[in-house]
Structure 1
Amino acid sequence: MAEVKRTLPVLSENATGSPEAAPWAALERLDLLLAEAARSAEVVYGVRFDDDRFRGLHLDAGEVGRLLDRMPGLPPLAEGRTRSVPLLDEKDLRFVALGQRFELAALDLDILLVALAPEIDPRYERLYAYLQDDVTRKRPGVDLILNLLSATAEEKLAGHRHFLPASPLLRHQLLQLHEDPPGSHATLLSRYCKVDERIVDYLLGGDGSALHPDDCLTIFPADSRISETPLSEAQRETLPRLLAEGRAVLHLRGVSGSGRRTVAAYLARRLGCGLVCFDPNRALARGEDDFQAICRRVVREARLREALLFVAEVDTLLDDDKDARLREFSQALEDWDGPTVLAGELPWRPLSLYRTRPFARVELEIPDFTERARLWGREVTGLSAEELEAVAARFNFTPGQIRAAAHSAGQMARSRQGGPSRIQAAELFDACRRHSNQKLGALARKIDPRHGWDDIVLPEDALEQLREICRQAVHRPLVLGQWGFERKLSYGKGLNVLFSGPPGTGKTLAAEVIACDLGLDLYQIDLSRVVSKYIGETEKNLDKIFTEARTSNAILLFDEADALFGKRSEVKDAHDRYANIETGYLLQKMEEYEGIAILATNLRGNLDEAFIRRMSFCVEFLFPREGERRLIWEKIWPEQAPRRTDLPLERMAERFEISGGNIKNIALAAAFLAAHDGGEISVRHLLRATRREYQKMGKILDDGDFRERMDD
């Protein structure tokens, strides 16, 4: 056989990393091993390299005889070899590091080297094809690798376990086994080996950045700039020590934007490592068949980088239909000995994960008023302390929401034509509203508040109560926070308000006035859409509403609340029992809610006293008296509306005992009638509009009745 010429291998086009990282010395030892195997192949196969152009494509009687003469299980390419010699040594730093991080045996590393060689130099493909007696098999098969690395039949047989599914090479997805052709149900020895591309990149000195990005996985290097977190001083000391123990699991419970990833990045910095972030939502979107493989790939990446593993939105795996996915995720974590941080909103205790691991949970609360004001001051410049405190008081934002809203407000300021580019208070309020309640519209209707105090007519006591509601909302940070009343209250920190009165007496308008005065969003909840006949669904819908509303202190208006808040019925069957449960759950969520929740009902008598006692305010909307009706008639007309000066508004207020809602309907209908006639709003239009409104009320009002009332 011709002498093997020694040349320095050249990295193939598919390889990444640096030439210095390639295991040149180990490849030279592999070349010597291949040369020895080639000499053995001349004896085993009975031909030289260039003797038979069609070798591997046919089988003659002589070759059959040679196959039968060979002792079963004996490595055919190990003629004269008495023991196997490792190809790698301590100088191959990447291989050594890989072996330590995945607890690999020396044979595992040699297997990887043999399979890696074609990624570095394509000449190995031709050598492997020859030694496998098949010009189409350019990747090393399991049989070839064991023949090269085993000296005896016993060694080869023992080497089988390094290719089984539970072996470190396959369990950690370092090595892939493929059938050729696919679906041929090939035996283990007949399958060929390929090093996973991420491991190829790592062994050749890469960091994974040149590979196709994985949207399930985000890598953050250690960031020395992260110093501020929502953790307490004690937590900053104890949590890094806990995670440094290894296999520790930390559960960060908090809403999105509460600083969960910031905490994870801070802990990674304290541990002196990077951060590997995994998003189960994106993994599940790819199809459930790939989920376990993705989880193992994530754990592999964390091992490769010796990083902290951060799992975002772990609540995704807690759905009833995700039990199998949760088990697969837990199984993948069993192979992970490093620190893990789980993030979610549910109070989860991952029993399957922490039986053998140190476990801790940290609650990341929404910052209090003082902290929110400080964060706004850090993110926004140019506004006074009073303006920033007003924003902090109105919006219960997380640190993440504060950053996002400040960024949006800055974009608004920069895009503004003319004037200063600094953020205006109105722009900041608008940005805050844009960053809140983004999902609330699915179960509630947003009302754009357009009416102020000048637009509402109520008895003085009712108006004063509405003003007191606004004052309490404004001064809550002072009274609850700085004056310490929050520590005295375990619940009921918000404002629960009951509006009761006949239809059309101004309940919805009053809620609108409050929202306009406070600069808050107003959402009207249709209880017929929230209440579900399916057990548990009503509670889920209510929870979604209050969860989404809490970050912005949006005002929630439960209109026609008596649909759910009837007197507690005597429990006669399961339906009655469940109805009471729904009612109690809504009251519980209202007491937990720190904003304004308004219940509007036409019949206060339908609410039992236990409910009423739990309200902060009970405002009764009485049917308007004559003087109030006169004010409503005067205020209902827009300045631009053309109307006759002789409209008998005072007489209308005196003679027609109707609600403000009826008056609004009559004025609007009269305006449309006048528009059709092409003139001003006149008595004739009022007559027709009033008669139509009475028809809707089930009453008849003819021309004679109208004149009689107006002429008395």
Structure 2
Amino acid sequence: MSGTAAADGAARDLLVRLAGLRSRVAGLVELRSADDPTATDPLRGLYVTPERARALAATRTDADGRTDAAAEEGDGLRAGPLPEAGQLGPVAQRFDLLVREFGLTELDAHILLCALAPDVDRGFEPLYGYLNDDVGRRRATVALALDLAGTGPYDPAARARFHPSAPLASGALIAVEDADRPLPGRALRVPERVVAHLLGDDALDPELTGHEVTLLPAGPDGGAAGSAGGDTGAEAAPGGGGDDGGDGGFAARLGAFVVARSAPVYLRERRSDGAAELAADALCGAGLAVLRYRPGGAPPREADPVDTTAAPAAPASAGGSATAAAALVREARLRGAALVVGPLPERPAGLVRALASAGVPVVFHGGEPCDPQWLPDAGLLALDAPAGGGAPALWRAALAPRDGELGPAELAEAVAPYRLGPAGIRGAARTAGALAAFDGTPLTVAHIQHSARQQSAPLLGRHARRVRPAVSFADLVLPPEPLELLHELAQRARHRDQVLGTWGLRTGGGRGRGVTSLFAGESGTGKTHAAEVVAGALGLDLYVVDLSSVVDKYVGETEKNLERIFVEADHTDAVLLFDEADAVFGKRSDVKSSHDRYANLESAYLLQRLESFGGIAVLTTNLRANIDEAFTRRLDLVVDFPFPDPEQRLTLWNRCLRSVPCAPDLAVELELCAKEFELSGGAIRSAAVTAGYLAAGRGEAVSAADVRAGARREYRKMGRLVPGSSPGWE
């Protein structure tokens, strides 16, 4: 059945029920108007007269919401006779489904129908005004609803249906207004979302506007149904949380467990939004729609802590609205949907209890360990979300039908460095396909890597500078041994999930799957350049940490700044470069002052943090002896960058000037320069730039004199004696 037909059927069903209610109202009007003393009142214009009330009660509204008189004046296209409520089919029976889902009694259903009648049929307003003895009070009151049900506020069982813990109020289906009035005279209001739902409207609750709530439909459209269960390198989680692939995987077991409402689940994640994607895919694949809620009201990695102990749902974007949790639960129950909530705020106990006890399937997620006190009575099943990169199978499924444009081995190597979840993979695949279509070319590795970088761009702008790699291994001038180690570093980054996860070669102690290395050598020997090359080979961006924004004179602030960097690097795919790392990774010393004590604490923190690090980090230093041996032991690779010999210096000169117009006799002079001037790669590049500016100023090609001037200038900058006695360099 189409959405329009379903909505029309739901509206007709509700109007049938209201027609039955109108007959009850007519009977009560007839009873009360029989001896109405205001019939001859000269001020009766301020009231609804008995005659007017009887006429309104006798007026019938058809399936299109028109009264008898309006229908007679219409174009003749009147709907047929209204069917009985039970004859409208399962789609239209929203009222019955609501009664069953919220556990309403027959009296509750009657009260709800009485309360919503004026919101659907305005003819009930003057009738309710007449029955309330106040034309200004056009909503049902507690007393009126109970009178229409044949009972009254004197019945304690009937009064109990309006208690805050009763289904109507606890389910946020009605609001009992006018708190200053006695209970019988208090007005009843039904939230517009409930009325709209009963009329067939499936739009998201307006009360959730401004909150971070996303609706994901059930099935493949809502997520990669079942695909998250095939992640490679998944860790074993308590209670069978590992992905063994033999019974549908972790995602399939999670979906079945949550659908059965066995217990609320908390997924601890190492990667921001990874658990949310996994849970959403699992639940959508299990046939449930999903409402994803971020309590902070902001993107996960920037969300401010929210105290929800007193107000369970207090999104910052809504000024701490205490009704968000109730509206969210009501929306889930109206749709038969599950909740995926996270990352949790700093003090989540109130929010967890409010949502977990609401009777809807719910999965919480966050980076903190589960605290049993969040839900001490019902219990909260805590699992570790599977860790690991997106399997090539997920990429192939997301890239279909364009996945055939890349070979399986080529695709697997291209996506190995990225640890995107299913939703991130789907987003990257869509972007890669769009880029290929824009370029008018087949899908390439460059398209995939560019799109994947966009999906996992870290938020390190305050403490790091991004470098988009523009060099490759062909641009490096190094001896075979360090060059081989750099290739090994790239291979470690690609295959760490397989080696450390699937093969189980990672030791215990809470160690992460990070890859860390130290580049040691004199200034200008190519350490930063090599880090950029490795990042480019992996298809990742390089982020150079600005130590001036990290180191703080106040005790503990340096560690806090470093923790922010490490956490963000753990969550995203990038290469982190600590240039001049000995400034923060220096040796510990004997404690002779309070300064030494706090410096040692900083080093101890870094030692522990490196072990749990899950990203890719490169440390560079000019003074390897200044790096603490404990740091060296925790490094995967140590690459020594030697000072270039004359042959390597000549290669560097030629590389720097390869795209520059040069004089015909420059080759001989470059060979002499490489022998006479002992310059590092960085200094040679600076000298070549100087030569280029000198030549450009004259409008000529670079000459031997320009190169000589550049080399001499670098020697003077270093405070070294400039060679002047050799032939050709006078």
TM over 0.5: yes
Asked if residue 140 in structure 1 is aligned to residue 140 in structure 2, the reply is yes
What do the CA deviations read for 1:676-697 (whole angstroms, capped 9, x no partner)? Answer: 2333434554455455444543
Contact kept, 8 Å, 1:436 with 1:549, in 2: the verdict is no
CA 1:509–1:239 in 2, change beyond 3 Å: closer, same or farther?
closer
Aligned-pair identity (%): 36
* AA of the residue aligned to 2:453: R
Structure 2 gap segments, 5+ residues each: 1-6, 49-83, 230-242, 298-313
Alignment of 1:660-699 (within 5 A): 660-686=681-707, 688-690=709-711, 692-698=713-719
2:546 maps to what in 1? 526
Deviation at 1:673, TM superposition (A): 2.4
Asked if residue 251 in structure 1 is aligned to residue 266 in structure 2, the reply is yes
Contact kept, 8 Å, 1:499 with 1:620, in 2: the verdict is yes
Structure 2 CA distance for aligned equivalents of residues 369 and 509 of structure 1: 31
What do the CA deviations read for 1:270-312 (whole angstroms, capped 9, x no partner)? Answer: 4x6544433324472532332x2111011112233443x2223
Structure 1 CA distance for aligned equivalents of residues 646 and 432 of structure 2: 47
Asked if residue 600 in structure 1 is aligned to residue 620 in structure 2, the reply is yes
* AA of the residue aligned to 1:635: R
Structure 2 CA distance for aligned equivalents of residues 210 and 429 of structure 1: 35
2:235 maps to what in 1? none
What do the CA deviations read for 1:628-672 (whole angstroms, capped 9, x no partner)? Answer: 434433433133334462574344334433333222222212321
1:310 maps to what in 2? 339
Any idea what SS the aligned residue of 1:500 has?
strand
Contact kept, 8 Å, 1:493 with 1:593, in 2: the verdict is yes
Structure 2 CA distance for aligned equivalents of residues 42 and 561 of structure 1: 94
What do the CA deviations read for 1:402-439 (whole angstroms, capped 9, x no partner)? Answer: 2222222211222223x5xx412332233333333343
Alignment of 1:606-645 (within 5 A): 606-643=626-663, 645=665
Structure 2 CA distance for aligned equivalents of residues 95 and 608 of structure 1: 70
1:384 maps to what in 2? 407
Asked if residue 196 in structure 1 is aligned to residue 227 in structure 2, the reply is no
2:202 maps to what in 1? 208
Structure 1 CA distance for aligned equivalents of residues 501 and 614 of structure 2: 13
CA 1:443–1:18 in 2, change beyond 3 Å: closer, same or farther?
same
* AA of the residue aligned to 2:421: T
CA 1:178–1:527 in 2, change beyond 3 Å: closer, same or farther?
same
Contact kept, 8 Å, 2:24 with 2:148, in 1: the verdict is no
Structure 1 CA distance for aligned equivalents of residues 392 and 505 of structure 2: 13
What do the CA deviations read for 1:561-619 (whole angstroms, capped 9, x no partner)? Answer: 01101111334566544444443444444444566422101111211222223333322
Structure 1 CA distance for aligned equivalents of residues 397 and 296 of structure 2: 30
Q: TM-score, normalised by structure 2?
A: 0.75
Aligned residues: 644
2:294 maps to what in 1? 279
Structure 1 CA distance for aligned equivalents of residues 362 and 528 of structure 2: 49
Any idea what SS the aligned residue of 2:443 has?
coil
What do the CA deviations read for 1:190-241 (whole angstroms, capped 9, x no partner)? Answer: 543221122223444x253497594544445543893444155275786566
Deviation at 1:336, TM superposition (A): 1.0
Asked if residue 498 in structure 1 is aligned to residue 497 in structure 2, the reply is no
2:219 maps to what in 1? 223
* AA of the residue aligned to 1:390: E
Deviation at 1:445, TM superposition (A): 2.0
Deviation at 1:498, TM superposition (A): 1.5
Deviation at 1:138, TM superposition (A): 2.2
Q: TM-score, normalised by structure 1?
A: 0.77
Any idea what SS the aligned residue of 1:567 has?
coil
Structure 1 CA distance for aligned equivalents of residues 610 and 532 of structure 2: 19
2:381 maps to what in 1? 359
Structure 2 CA distance for aligned equivalents of residues 96 and 35 of structure 1: 25
CA 1:328–1:661 in 2, change beyond 3 Å: closer, same or farther?
same
Asked if residue 564 in structure 1 is aligned to residue 564 in structure 2, the reply is no
Asked if residue 649 in structure 1 is aligned to residue 670 in structure 2, the reply is yes
Structure 1 CA distance for aligned equivalents of residues 725 and 256 of structure 2: 88
Any idea what SS the aligned residue of 2:543 has?
strand
CA 1:29–1:339 in 2, change beyond 3 Å: closer, same or farther?
closer
What do the CA deviations read for 1:505-542 (whole angstroms, capped 9, x no partner)? Answer: 22112223333445443322223323445666555544
Deviation at 1:360, TM superposition (A): 4.1
Any idea what SS the aligned residue of 1:394 has?
coil
Deviation at 1:386, TM superposition (A): 2.0
Structure 1 CA distance for aligned equivalents of residues 358 and 185 of structure 2: 31
Any idea what SS the aligned residue of 2:404 has?
coil
Structure 2 CA distance for aligned equivalents of residues 363 and 427 of structure 1: 29
Structure 1 CA distance for aligned equivalents of residues 571 and 260 of structure 2: 36
Deviation at 1:560, TM superposition (A): 0.5
Structure 1 CA distance for aligned equivalents of residues 134 and 26 of structure 2: 16
* AA of the residue aligned to 1:174: L
* AA of the residue aligned to 1:288: G
Asked if residue 296 in structure 1 is aligned to residue 326 in structure 2, the reply is yes
Any idea what SS the aligned residue of 1:649 has?
helix
Structure 2 CA distance for aligned equivalents of residues 224 and 513 of structure 1: 39
Deviation at 1:359, TM superposition (A): 2.3
Contact kept, 8 Å, 1:27 with 1:117, in 2: the verdict is no
* AA of the residue aligned to 1:486: L
Structure 2 CA distance for aligned equivalents of residues 328 and 485 of structure 1: 39
Any idea what SS the aligned residue of 1:408 has?
helix
Structure 2 CA distance for aligned equivalents of residues 33 and 432 of structure 1: 64
Structure 1 CA distance for aligned equivalents of residues 418 and 621 of structure 2: 28
Structure 2 CA distance for aligned equivalents of residues 444 and 113 of structure 1: 60
CA 1:242–1:452 in 2, change beyond 3 Å: closer, same or farther?
closer
Structure 1 CA distance for aligned equivalents of residues 724 and 95 of structure 2: 99
CA 1:167–1:463 in 2, change beyond 3 Å: closer, same or farther?
closer
Which one of the candidate residues 329, 334, 348 is aligned to 2:351? Answer: 329
Asked if residue 118 in structure 1 is aligned to residue 138 in structure 2, the reply is no
